[in-house]
Structure 1
Amino acid sequence: MTHSTCVTLEGVSYHLPNGNSLFSHLDLHLDQRRTGLIGRNGAGKSVLARLIAGDITPSTGRCLRHGTVHYLAQTISQEPGRTVTDLAGVRSVICALERIERGSSEQADFDCVGERWNLRQQLLDQLSQHQLTHITLQTPVTALSGGEAMRVALMGAFLSNADLLILDEPTNHQDHDNRLALHEQLKEWPNGLLVISHDRDLLEHMERIVELSSLGLTSYGGGYSFYAQAHARHQQAAQQQLQSVRHERKREERSLREQRERLERRQARGHKQASDTNQAKILLDRQKERSQTSSGKLLRQQDIAREALSARVREVASLVETQNTIFVYPPEPRHNTSLKVAELIDARLPQGDSSLRTVNLTLTRGQRIALLGANGCGKSTLLKLLAGQIPAESGHVQTYVQAAYLDQHLSVLSAEHSVFEQLRSLNRRLDESELRTRLAQLGLCADRINLPCSQLSGGERLKGAMACVLYAQQPTQLLLLDEPANHLDLPSIHALETMLNAYTGTFVVTSHDERLLAAIGITHRLQASPSGWLSTAVHPSEHNRSSL
């Protein structure tokens, strides 16, 4: 099956203002296939998207566009004065329609509208279909929640009818139902599509995955599961090839060493024979010179051979990704810990849906609870209540153990202080070298743990926060996590899963990522419903579902 090309990249490179190269020599054809773009945070995915959209130009190479491109960034601008029409990208068309309705005959207005005479009604219909009838075209962007703003921006993206639609992390801030609705919309999108995402369920719906790494762009057919399997096979093959060339280098170096030793033995015998036969000094000097020339030539040849072997090893090693294996130390035995962790009896939340304001809940040791529900139903409020950050309006709230609340911004960490400083303040019993070792085994590099947390990536900050939970002198026994995977790349999500699986306390987590929940062994689901909060136990067989 052939696909018409929307965008072609030829030898594209992009250099940062400091002169460093973000990526180089990228070649890519984007057509009508649904394509997922993945890569570590900082690899340059969003920059590449802006380059494809024409917002910025490449440092070298060229980007050829065949048709229109609509780019939806992951960060929604909330500048004062912007309205829903700005967010949806239709303000100029709506304003032109209004001028025409008032009697304008300007050709520029008709050119702006083109064939989009029903655009205003289409947007209103979209708002109605998404249960956003409280939003008008004049509603300020600042009045919208993060989820509402993204949904409105997505409406404008779909109404653009662009030849290539680029969506950067479109499921951020979206609840489960809205994620499913987006999946269906993307299935029906008839034109080219490029989705930048770490959402594995969304990536599963793609027809191919393209990975941006230090090696450039690598394309894999199929969705995320196909990518994960193919990527694992490629890495295994690269590891085997690396072992093979290293073995070859070792064998060749041994051969070169033996060759040199044979030459040295021959030279030694020659010198002895010449000395025993009392040859003239001039003859001895000539023989010595010839021997040194021969030896020097051999050494140069061997140096060239060694460099060629080392270059081959470096070339193959570049194909092997650096894998930071996460190791979590088992917790020390706890004494006199309470079986009952927290208790809420007729606790009245200060905000949320009326049917969900009253909560009755008992948490016990070792429970792993997924707190589920639509955005705005009160999940974060309930976590803050359990953490003691806000009081209940009425009823009984009691927490029997030490709790830690990790919100979406990881506010538990001080932005001005380093991870090491903060962990050291929480644990004076372990010496500094032991704490550094433990941070390293969580995948935190030695040159990063002494930086202010404000300079760390989202994944690094999450690991730092988890280190403070896991390795405090008084370990947290109740961990409360609010959308912990938001803005994390795939390696960081896998690290989070590893750390939560090693955690032996009780935790409550809000997340719309079903693969994450399946991977961390959830024991109970606390679901928001029209009749209140409903708790159900998770069957053990569900723990076997893997997060690819």
Structure 2
Amino acid sequence: MATTHYLALEDVSCVLPDGTLLFAHLTETFDDQRRTGLVGRNGSGKTVLARMLAGLQPPSGGRCVRAGSVHYLAQQISTPAPGATVADLAGVQALLAALQRIEAGSTEPADFDTVGERWHIRQQLQHALEQHGLAHLRADTPASRLSGGEVMRVALIGALLSEADFLILDEPSNHLDQPSRQALIEQLAHWPRGLLVISHDRQLLDTLDRIVELSPLGLRSYGGNHAFYAQAKAHEQQNAVAELDRARLDRRREEQALRAQRERQEKRQARGARAGQQANQAKILLDRQKERSDHATGKLLRQQAATRQALAQRVREAAEQVADEAAIHLHAPPTAGVAQRLVAELDGVELPFVPEALRRISLQVRGRQRIGLTGPNGSGKSTLLKVLAGQIQPLAGRCQVITGAVYLDQSLGHLDPDRAVLEQLQQAQRTLDESALRMRLAQLGLDAQKVALPSRLLSGGERLKAALACALYADPPPPLLLLDEPSNHLDLPSLRALETLLTSYQGAMVVASHDPVFLEALGLTDRLEATGKGWRLGAVG
């Protein structure tokens, strides 16, 4: 069957508002025959490129060609407007409203145009909700009642119901529990049209047909899943490092040869000058001899300069082929508290917006306790964290939390989107000078240009690093960290750095995550699990 729908990049470039070149001269085709994963480091421009492919953002140069309709699902679902419903999140509210008007007797052509052939959309939406384990939701359920994971799942349902010729999904497995991630993989396996997935989720990427990597070198296509890509990438890096080593060795050897050549030339000049003086030659002959010698020396120096330049260029080109895997460095904050100090206590607290079995909880958190918060989407993990953070009031019971606790939600609301990262860090940390703070941000991968931008202009992973810096580098450091899915949006080097940082953090910590590998790396003392019979707290050991 011939390809009928595709997305194409033709010499596409992007220059940011501050003049930074994000990427340049990208040429690639994404067709409906190969389900493709787009990977790359945080800040490489994956989301910007996806928005360009979807027609939501024009390129600075070149052009994007779309043959067919495109549905784009962002990695950060916008906070639902007041009064928004499940139908709004799924993108079918206008369709349902037109259908309802027709059923009530409307003969407006616009309503029939809106509905088209989708007369069963109401039943399709409800069936999809039931298939995705969201049978408790209806089209008119207020979006404000949904958890972060449920919001993403409803948005994914909308994407799958869109009947678009091409789906572009940006980090779709973020916020999803493991059963939901597996369901997503199965649904995408049966998606019959074009698919482009931006992700760091290796489990999801392993189910796709090819991987395309965006890096400072441009776009590189790998004809296989993530495991094939990782193997090919490792082989490429071995070859690139070997070539860099050879280029550096050749440069050192050539430098030695050039020095020896120059020394021989200088000795010949010195011998010629002495011989001329001893032969008592006329001054005019000596001057001509010196002129010839100077000319030969100048020619030699020019040749050697050209050789050095060629060698240096070879080393630079070899170095460019070596991936920038420099470890992201994070400074461990000073001790944040005493081990047995009580930092949070819930006494008979009743949580709102959660299943009946999980509504009541009593919990004590002490100075260096590290609690992993687990459970399915919609079980109340985010609600519990918001109650501890003071953002939601419990229905009943007593909640006491130490002053200075920091909560980072899934949307990173702790970070002001309109202010520069450096400015926000300076407000939180007044002991260190600006150069020290800039260095710490640079060691997180946030360079001088990025720390001066409003944080909303950063990538998801960069915003998370900025939010963590503002929290953990604060003076004084927080005695309690409340983290809701902090590993989302991060590439693998950044994720390893985050694990290292949180492991060295000495305060109390409650972390909600669906990533078992990430939680295992944190050295948890306890796990608090949301089950069908209530909250279950147990020591890890």
- Asked whether the two chains share a fold, i.e. TM above 0.5, the reply is yes
Aligned to 1:14: 13
CA separation of 1:82 and 1:335: change in aligned 2, threshold 3 A: closer
Amino acid at match of 1:422: Q
- Whether 1:405 aligns to 2:407 is yes
Counterparts of 2:4 and 2:72, CA distance in 1: 17
2:484/2:512 contact within 8 Å kept? yes
Q: Does 1:113 align with 2:116?
A: yes
Shift of 1:216: 1.0
8 Å contact 1:100–1:109 — kept in the other structure?
Answer: no
CA distance in 1 between partners of 2:106 and 2:385 (Å): 56
In structure 2, the residue corresponding to 1:287 is in which secondary structure? helix
- Aligned counterparts, 1:32-431, within 5 A: 32-55=33-56, 68-76=69-77, 88=90, 95=98, 113=116, 116=118, 118-130=120-132, 132=134, 147-328=149-330, 337-338=339-340, 342-349=344-351, 352-364=354-366, 366-387=368-389, 394-395=396-397, 397=399, 403-412=405-414, 415=419, 418-425=423-430, 428=431
**262-271 vs 365-374, greater mean Cα deviation:** 365-374
Q: CA deviation at 1:263?
A: 1.0
Shift of 1:523: 4.1
1:238 deviates by: 2.3
Q: Amino acid of the residue matched to residue 71 of structure 2?
A: H
TM-superposed deviation, 1:153: 3.5
Report the Cα distance in structure 2 between the residues aligned to 1:470 and 1:142, rounded to whole angstroms.
30
Aligned to 1:545: none
Shift of 1:315: 0.9
Question: Which stretch of structure 1 is more off in the superposition, 195-204 or 123-132?
Answer: 123-132
CA distance in 1, matches of 2:94, 2:403: 57
Q: Aligned in 2, Cα 1:26/1:487: closer, same or farther, shift over 3 Å?
A: same
Letter in 1 for 2:74: A
Q: Say if 1:476 and 1:144 are closer, same or farther in 2 by CA, change over 3 A.
A: closer
Question: Residue 25 of structure 1 corresponds to which residue in structure 2?
Answer: 25
Q: Give the corresponding residue for 1:546.
A: none
Q: Give secondary structure in 1 for the equivalent of 2:322.
A: coil
The 2-side partners of 1:206 and 1:16 are apart by 30
Counterpart CA distance in 2 for 1:400 and 1:113 is: 57
Q: Which residue of 1 aligns with 2:516?
A: 514
Contact 1:439 1:467 in 2 (8 A): yes
Instruction: List alignment gaps of at least 5 residues for structure 1.
Output: 540-548
My pick for the range that moved more, 129-138 or 498-507, is 129-138
Separation in 1 of the partners of 2:50 and 2:336?
Answer: 50
Structure 1 CA distance for aligned equivalents of residues 341 and 444 of structure 2: 29
**Cα distance in structure 2, aligned partners of 1:103 and 1:385:** 46
Partner of 2:480: 478
Kindly state the Cα deviation for residue 470 of structure 1 after the two structures are TM-superposed. Answer: 4.7
Give the AA of the match of 1:372.
T
**CA contact 2:132–2:183 (8 Å) conserved in 1:** no
SS in structure 2 of the partner of residue 320 of structure 1: coil
Contact 2:146 2:378 in 1 (8 A): no
CA pair 330-199 structure 1, distance change in 2 beyond 3 A: same
Call closer, same or farther: CA 1:336–1:183 in 2, change over 3 Å: closer
Q: Which sits farther off after the overlay, 249-258 or 300-309?
A: 249-258
CA-CA distance at 1:112 after TM superposition: 7.6
**SS of alignment partner, residue 418 of structure 1:** helix
Identify if the C-alpha distance between structure 1 residues 420 and 279 changes in structure 2 by more than 3 Å, giving closer, same or farther. farther
Query: TM-score by structure 2 length?
Result: 0.81
Deviates more, 1:412-421 or 1:191-200: 412-421
Displacement of 1:39 in angstroms is 2.0
Gaps spanning 5+ residues in structure 2: where? none
Distance 1:117 1:239, change over 3 A: same
Q: CA deviation at 1:491?
A: 3.9
Counterpart-to-counterpart distance in 1, 2:397 and 2:9:
65
CA distance in 1, matches of 2:76, 2:338: 47
CA distance in 1, matches of 2:109, 2:334: 77
Distance in structure 1 (CA, Å) of the matches to 2:49 and 2:336: 50
Q: How many residues align?
A: 534
SS at match of 1:240: helix
> How far does the alpha carbon of each residue in 1:43-72 deviate from its partner, in whole angstroms, 9 at most, with x for none?
332333244345566565565655554333
Distance (whole Å) between structure 1 residues aligned to residue 292 and residue 284 of structure 2: 12
1:453-492 CA-to-partner distances (Å, cap 9, x unmatched) read: 6666554454455445555565444322122234444443
Q: Which moved more, 1:351-360 or 1:96-105?
A: 96-105
Q: CA deviation at 1:167?
A: 1.5
Q: Which secondary structure does the structure 1 equivalent of 2:510 belong to?
A: strand
Provide the C-alpha distance between the structure 2 equivalents of 1:22 and 1:373, rounded to a whole number of angstroms. Answer: 39
Letter in 2 for 1:113: G
Structure 1 stretch displaced more, 456-465 or 366-375: 456-465
CA distance in 1 between counterparts of 2:277 and 2:63 reads: 72
Q: Using the alignment, how far apart are the partners of 2:501 and 2:424 within structure 1? A: 17
Higher RCO, 1 or 2 (CA under 8 Å, sep at least 6)? Answer: 2
Q: Return the offset for 1:205.
A: 2.8
Contact 1:13–1:22 under 8 Å retained in 2: no
| Greater alpha carbon shift after TM alignment, 330-339 vs 268-277 | 330-339
2:71/2:166 contact within 8 Å kept: yes
